[in-house]
Each structure stands twice: as structure tokens, then as C-alpha cells.
Amino acid sequence: MGERCLARETPARESRGARPATSASKERRPSPESASCCVSRLKALAATGRKTAEEACSWLRCHCDDPSLDDPIPQEYALFLCPTGPLLERLQDFWKESRRQCARNRAHEVFPHVTLCDFFTCEDQKVECLYEALKKAGDRARASFPPALPLALHSSGSYLGFFISDGPADLIREFAMVFASEASVLADCTVKPCTKQLHLTLAHKFYPHHQRTLEQLARAIPPDPSCQWTAALYSRDMRFVHYQTLRALFRYEPQNEDELALSPGDYIFVDPTQQEEASEGWAVGTSQRTGCRGFLPQNYTERASEADTWVKHRTYTFSLAVELSSRKDGEASGRQGGEFAAAQPARSVGTLQTLQAALARRRVLVVRHGERVDQVFGKSWLQQCCTPDGRYHRPDLNFPSSLPRRSSGLKAFENDPPLSSCGVFQARMAGDALQASGIRIAAVFASPALRCVQTAKHILEELQLERRLKIRVEPGIFEWTKWEASKAPPALMTLEELKEAGLSVDTNYRPAFALSSLTPAESYDDYVDRCAVSVAQMVSACPQDMGVILIVSHGSALDSCTRPLLGLPPRSCGDFAQLVRKVGARSCPFGPQSCALGGTGPTHTPASIQSQQPGASSRSPRRVQGPKDLGHLLLLSQATVESWMESGAAGT
């Protein structure tokens, strides 16, 4: 629509001088098209925070096909009091550490803030008046604004945060009331200032067993009474308030008319209650960048925070040294973006030094699980083997001979499938290859996924170590939950159920991450971080004079669990996804010969690698036939990983 507006404007400017004077009155009369263009321009300015004309024009160009471009739907606005400087940095550290240790909670959806005014609507043509209202309210409150805000930690069953004491809180509430009054007069808005206890939320709606950990992390935040506070006016699109927000990780070119184009960094609004028309692995969403709606492959995205799509309009800093405050605030923001990126490598360096010292007399072997039954018979495999009375029967020889008992019933196998018969054969062949190569396995760790524990069991049986070694289940090396089909936390078998199924698991092992800490659609940074922490604990748990440590996990672990051992930083998310796609469901990057594992690296590099682009060709479920070779199971020693990466087969 924006392009059509520009196209209409250009001829008008070119022909204006040639028009007869008698038509001047008609030209001044607003047409429906010009009114539509006016609505679009105002919407573009409001959506970009009225910063520059260039940003508004760019927004219009991106939204040229937005069906709602001409709809006079206003933005929603809210006023927050935000900390800056060292306190903000400490709060951001808490945000990251609480997510790592205790999973995501509602507080992670928004940045650290104190709510002054709830969200309210304002017409696009009156947004400038809101800015004036903020300035007037700030000027009136500056002299009386409290020089320090004492923060008191408060904790309850589902809430953790700082409360602002009554004296300073009364002055802040007075500022909010003045802003609401000015906004009502200047911008004709109905603004509801906060009248309850002013608070800065640290955690909300978390698991009860995480409360103690969260409180310990919160007590490590030194309250800074001298912190400089800024009143910030934000806006959001009111149409997508209760939607889930996704962030595109990779570029996707639509292959059907009803699909959505994705560029890295795009934000997509998805209504979880309106996904009936989307098939497995796909979602229906609306792009914030273009306003268009369509189908998109879910594994091209990760979950984002609600506030990632909010737009900051104007701020007011309560200090006489406004310029100094703005500079410090900018520096803090810059540190935020770089500090998180640098902090993780900083922790990795210490972890790597420990790992490399521990590896002086040890080697780590990372193994991918064997073929899973749903890769052969599709997602409907469970329907094929269930009788009407809910019992299991074996309709094909590649189905497992039986299924272990689990308290949640057969339905739970949909998201935690077992090995196929071919997968069991692959695992035994891998154990046989290890036996023939003389590799001495001294400890075994496995992802909690059933297919991984089964693979470890069959390898140990071929090595004749099933009585001597127990499998230590480590949830921290479970698959990146973003790639799991389920939108709920992984429903995996407990240690008791695994033991009852004849799997020799170590019930005394204390994992780096509890099974309950796995959350759906985790970010890539969280996934890489838990893998690095988990592999560090697994290596440090084994004495230095032991033999090879065997880790049985998923295709993604071939990279995420080995790069810390090699002293390498995590790959970018895009490179990681491209690499894992090259580990095909029926192929091995080095062919069957590499499974011999003499410790000298792969015997050859293939001419081509099967690439599976998830969601790239069809939204229909794909039926995959069984493999014709034994290359599905991937085994890599430390030397093999080094040779693999040097050969360039790992991809870039």
C-alpha cells in the first residue's frame, strides 16, 4: 500500500504545474486515496517511534502488502520507570542466570522495570501530544523526585521482586498521575496510573521448587539507592497482545502462495489457539516486519520475549545531568549487547581450561542414537501399532518387539519414541566396532531420551560391560528443545521407569540439569550453555586415569558437546542449524568406514552430504524408508572431531 501511495503521489507532483487553474479546488479536496495515504504515514510514524522519516518510509515499503495498512488501529502505550547503570547490569545478569538455572518464567518476557501507567490507546495523530505530556510531567516532578529509591526484596509462592518503600513510591505515583492528567488533556487519552504497591518484578509464575534458587540469586543483587532512573514511553501492537512471539533464525523463501517469507531477526506473532489449519512442524503467524500472514516452518524460529517487539518512543531522566545520564544509559545498553555475548565465552574459557587439563589422559566419544521408529514410519507410527483396546502389537519387523511400560501410557511415546529394530542393530554394530578397535570405555552418559538410553544399553552389551557400568542419565545434553515437536516440557521416562524397563541406569548420579529444568522452545544460547556446563560436569566426574568417556546423545550434540572440548566458541545459530541438517536421517558425513574409530580421524570425506531442509518443500508429513547402510549412527572421538572440522566437512 505504501508503494501504491508513492506511485500515486509522483504523477500528481509531475502534473501539478500543467493543471488548469479551474481544477485547483478539486485538487485540494481530499480523496479517499489521499486519506488512506495519510493514515498509512501516521501509522508508520507511530510504529517506528517517530524517530526519523527514513525509518517510517522503510516501514511503509516493507508493509506495502499489509492488508491492515489502511485500518485506523492505534498503538497501545505504557509508561515505565527503568533503572540504568550498574543496577541495570546486575538485573540483566540475574535475568540470564535465572533462565539458565530455573528455566523461563513470566518476568523474562519484559525488561527490568516499574510499571507507572498501564497500557492505553492513543490515536496516531496525537502521539506527539503524549511526548509533550511526558515532558511536562517530568519537569513538574523533577525537583521533588526522590534522590534514592530503597528497594526491599519480597518473595511469595509465585512472585519475587523488589518493593519500593512508601515515601518515595508516593512521589513516583504523583508523577504518574500528573502524566495521566496531561495525557488526557493534550492527547485525549484515558490513562490509568498505577495506584498499587510499586515493584520491580524479578520472577513471576515460576516452578515452586525453583523459589529457593531464585531467592539466592536475587540476594546477590546489591540494591543501588543512587541508581539513576528513567521514565520510558513504550508502545505495542494491540492486535497481538496475547500472542506468542517468535524470532526468525534463518531466511526462508516461500514455496507456496500461503507461506510467509522470513529474514533473520524477523519477529512473528503466533496465536497458539488458532493453529488447527497448520500441519505438524508448521505454524500460522503474522510478520511484524511486513504485516503479512501465512504459514512458516517452526524450526526456522525460536521463542522471543514479548517486549522484543515493543517500540521505545521517548524517555525522561530524573537528573539535572541529563546528558551525562543519557550517555551512561547508552553505554550500559551497549554493554548489555556485548556483555552477554562476551560473558559466555569468558565462562567458557574457564570451563575449557578445566576440560583440556582433564583430557590430558582421557578421551571423550560422542555418539548419536540409532534410528528412531518414527523416522521410518512417520508420526502416525503409534496408531499403526495400537490395538483398539490400547495394547501394543508389532505390525512390521522394523517396529520394536515390545514397548517399555510408562505411567503416562502409550501416548507419551509420540514425543519420546524408541529405537526401531534397525536402530538396535546399528547400536550393536557400533559396540562391536568399539570392541574390535580396542577402545576401553570407562564411563557412559546418555541423554534422557529413550532412544539414547537404549543405544547406550546395546553398545554396553556388545562391549560386555552392561553388568559393570551403569548409564548416567544427563538431561543437560538433551536435544535442543526448539526442535522438539511438543510445545510442552519434554515428557520423558523417569529413572525408575527406565530401570523397570531393564535399562541399567545410575540412580545415584546427580546431573548438571534436572529433568524439570528442560523447557520448550528454549533459545539457542540457553541450549549451548547447558551443553557446555553438562559436558564439563561429566568430564570432571570421571577420574583422570580412566579410559574413554562415552556420551550418547543427539545429532546436535556432535557439535554442541565437542566444541567446548576443543577450545572453540559456540557456532552462530545459523551455522549450527546448517551443520545439523547435514547429519541426515539416513546418512553419515563420513560413511560407514568412520565408525571403526581408530582414533586417527575419518578415513575419507564424502563427495556430497545429504542436506535436509526442514519444512523446505512440503507441509505434508514425510514418510521415510529405512536406511540401506549403517551410517545413521555417528561416532566421533576427540581426534575425529578435530580432523572433521579441519577437513571442512562440518560446514560454515
> Are residues 494 and 391 located together in one domain of the fold?
yes
Q: Does residue 71 register a pLDDT over 80?
A: yes
To the nearest 10°, report the CA torsion of 136, 138, 144, 147: -170
Residue 345 vs residue 500, higher pLDDT: 500
Residues 88 and 331: beta-carbon distance below 8 Å: no
The H-or-E segment that residue 101 falls in is: helix 85-102
Looking up residue 211, the CATH number of its domain turns out to be 3.90.1140
Active-site residue, selected from the candidate residues 41, 303, 554, 571: 554
User: Would the pLDDT of 322 be above 80?
Assistant: no
**What percentage of the chain carries pLDDT values higher than 90?**
44
Cα angle, residue 84 at apex, residues 81 and 90 outer, rounded to 5°: 110
Residues 269 and 385 in one domain: no
Q: Which of 140, 205, 625, 226 is nearest to 422 (CA)?
A: 625
Beta strand 267-270 with 244-248: parallel, antiparallel or unpaired? antiparallel
> Of the residues 293, 308, 323, which one is the last residue of a structural domain?
308
In a domain, 323, yes or no: no
- Active site (annotated) includes residue 369: yes
- Identified catalytic residue from 362, 368, 530, 571: 368
CA dist 579 and 651 (Å) reads 6
Could you tell me if residue 31 is inside a domain? no
Q: Does residue 136 sit in the same domain as residue 210?
A: yes
Q: Which of 344, 382, 405, 359 is nearest to 533 (CA)?
A: 344
Give the 3-state secondary structure of residue 599: coil
Q: Which of 238, 270, 290 is the last residue of a domain?
A: 238
**Cα–Cα distance between 195 and 420 in angstroms, integer?**
61
Q: Which amino acid is at 299?
A: N
Same domain? For 274 and 228 the reply is no
Domain of residue 273, CATH code: 2.30.30.40
- pLDDT over threshold 70, residue 61: yes
Q: Which of 173, 369, 406, 571 is flagged as catalytic?
A: 369
Q: Who's near 568: CB < 8 A, 6+ residues apart? A: 645
What Cα–Cα distance (Å) separates residue 352 from each residue in 339, 344, 552, 636?
Answer: 19, 12, 21, 19
Of the candidates 309, 255, 314, 256, which has an alpha carbon nearest to the alpha carbon of residue 286? 309
Contacts of 619 (CB under 8 A, 6+ apart): 256, 278, 279, 281, 282, 295
Q: Does 287 lie in the same domain as 141? A: no
Between 564 and 615, the higher pLDDT residue: 564
In sequence order, what are the beta bridge partners of 392?
386
CA atoms within 13 A on the CB side of 42: 19
Instruction: Count Cβ atoms below 10 Å from residue 67 Cβ, excluding itself.
Output: 11
Does any domain span residue 153?
A: yes
262, 204: one domain: no
pLDDT bin (cut points 50, 70, 90) of residue 155 is very high
Residue 325 domain-assigned (yes or no): no
pLDDT digits (tens, 9 = 90+) for 381-390: 988 998 888 8
Whole-number Å distance between alpha carbons of 364 and 565: 9
Residue 297 near residue 261, CB atoms below 8 Å: no
Distance CA 535, CA 248 (A): 28
All residues at 6 or more sequence positions from 362 whose CB lies less than 8 Å from its CB, including other chains? 539, 542, 544, 546, 547, 548, 549
Taking the model in full, what pTM does it have?
0.52
Q: Which of 175, 186, 151, 209 is nearest to 79 (CA)?
A: 175
Note whether 282 and 234 are same-domain residues. no
Can you spell out the DSSP letters for 613-643?
Answer: -TTSS-SSPPP-PPPSSSTTS-EE-HHHHHH
Is 38 contained in some domain? no
> Could you tell me if 478 and 437 lie in one domain?
yes
**Pair (498, 542) in one structural domain:** yes
- The answer, yes or no, to whether residue 108 has pLDDT greater than 50, is yes
Q: How many other β-carbons are positioned within 10 Å of the β-carbon of residue 35?
A: 11
Looking up cell 545429532 gives 555
Catalytic status, residue 368: yes
**Alpha-carbon gap, residue 82 to 232, rounded angstroms:** 7
- Phi, psi values for residue 203, rounded to 5°: -155, 145
Of 181, 208, 238, the one marking the end of a domain is: 238
Other CB atoms within a 10 A radius of the CB of residue 510 amount to: 9
Whether residue 578 has pLDDT greater than 80: no
User: Can you give the pLDDT at residue 121?
Assistant: 95
Q: Is residue 627 part of a domain?
A: no
The most distant pair of C-alpha atoms in the chain lies apart, rounded to whole Å, by 101
Q: In b/e form, how buried is each residue of 224-234, taking b as 16+ CB within 10 angstroms?
A: beebbbbbbbb
Q: How many CB atoms lie within 10 A of CB 451?
A: 26
Asked if residue 42 is part of any domain, the answer here is no
C-alpha 345, offset from chain centre: 19
Question: Does the pLDDT at position 93 exceed 90?
Answer: yes
**Is residue 547 in some structural domain?**
yes
In this predicted structure, the answer to whether residue 496 has a pLDDT above a threshold of 70 is yes
Beta strand extents in 288-431 (DSSP E only): 293-297, 301-303, 311-317, 363-368
The interaxial angle of helices 85-102 and 322-358, nearest 10 deg, is 40
Same domain, 98 and 179: yes
The pLDDT assigned to 280 comes to 82
SS3 content of the chain, % helix, strand, coil (to 5): 45, 15, 40
How many domains does the chain fold into?
Answer: 3
- Structural domain harbouring 415: 360-600
Contact 98, 281 (CB under 8 A): no
CATH code of the domain covering residue 433 = 3.40.50.1240
Instruction: Quote the pLDDT of residue 24.
Output: 37
Which among 333, 318, 419 is positioned nearest to 627, based on CA atoms? 419
Considering the domain architecture, whether residues 415 and 479 belong to the same structural domain is answered as yes
Could you report the per-residue pLDDT of 595-614, keeping only the tens digit for each? 322 232 322 222 222 233 34
Question: How many percent of the chain have pLDDT more than 70?
Answer: 76
Alpha carbons 652 and 649: distance in angstroms, whole number? 9
Residue 354 has pLDDT above 70, yes or no: no
Residues 552 and 409 in one domain: yes
